[in-house]
Structure 1
Amino acid sequence: MTSFPKIWFLRHGQTEWNAEKRIQGQLESQLSPLGRSHARQQAELMRPILAQEPTCYVSPLGRARETAEIALGGAECIIDPRLAEAHAGDLQGMTLPEVEAQLPEIWAANPSHLDLFCAAPNGEGYGNFHARILSFMQVLTEPSVVVAHGLLGQVMRGIVLGLSRQEMAKLSNQQGCIYVLEEGREQLLQ
């Protein structure tokens, strides 16, 4: 198993579309008031971590950048396009009930969000998504903070933990917390 430097992973706070159960993928949706509260919770947890001056990376998507601004107190971040959420193709912008009603075969065959996004017609697919995340992780040389997205976090955490795709899809996907990844293990700070 490949070894990576310590990673503090933060999922963005709740967005308006999260609250509507609408698939964002690489589309934009603003943080909800609850989402800004999630980022403030992360800011409390991040204070002692930021004192160590880790390198900070953020997805180019607005919800992650707004979360980083709040949670990291304006610390300098490197925007890396490899940290964008999975591109969910034709499903982007649809609500989960709309997917279930309009694409029942895809819905039935893909019970997890990770599988659903990766099965999306005209989407990125799991292989490309996994490769993109791994390519980012392989260039990390020092302890790093990553502010990104739920499915990206499940795959990144799964890579560190040595999990299968099915196991990755079952990982928790919380907001307002920090997942600490180190030496093949995960710790949740909340």
Structure 2
Amino acid sequence: MVVQAGRCFIQEGAPAHDFYVLTGGRAKLFSLMPDGRRQIVGFAEVGDFLGLASSESYAFTAEALGEVTLCRFPHSAIDRLVERFPRLHGRLQQEASSELVKMQARLMLLGRKTARERLASFLVEQASPCCAHALKDEHGPLTLPLPMSRTDIADYLGLTIETVSRTFSLFRKEGLISIRGASSVTLLSPGLLSDMAGGIKRS
């Protein structure tokens, strides 16, 4: 499947007949409260499985950030897929375990971290899929695409957009990041940001 920017391919509350594997692009995942407020619950990367844990209905909406390519599989075909591709069984277990780890990290993010720690955690999270090694030490600058809006980031972190914008500005003044345009950011001190995300204060 190819999904254009801004289009939804999973709808919260809709019957969960299929699951998806993201093969290109990025997507934002969100839920709506009864009063219309939105909570972004995650940003999907290439290789992520979406809708896999759904039972009767989807628990979130998935919207394309830019053009997205997907593989769609019916839930009813999982047994046949595992029989045909035995390695898939381990991959599905890995996905289930990864979702639990992400949920625990998100509870910590929203429950205990300051605004600075939350934004640092977000930036580190965005860098992790491709540059995890660079976050462990003072590696060179890392430039990350950020296709999501500042409002999306604020919703994800449980902060106001004003707080997110102010914290971005503080990070820039402190020489932790540089920003050119609204769709990318360069981490000038990946190690410092990684420590901040983990609550470690350097002297």
TM-score of Structure 1 vs Structure 2, range by shorter chain? under 0.3
Bigger radius of gyration, 1 or 2?
Answer: 2
Structure with greater strand percent: 2
Larger relative CO (CA 8 A, sep 6+): 1 or 2? Answer: 1
TM-score, normalization: structure 2?
A: 0.25
TM-score, normalization: structure 1?
A: 0.26
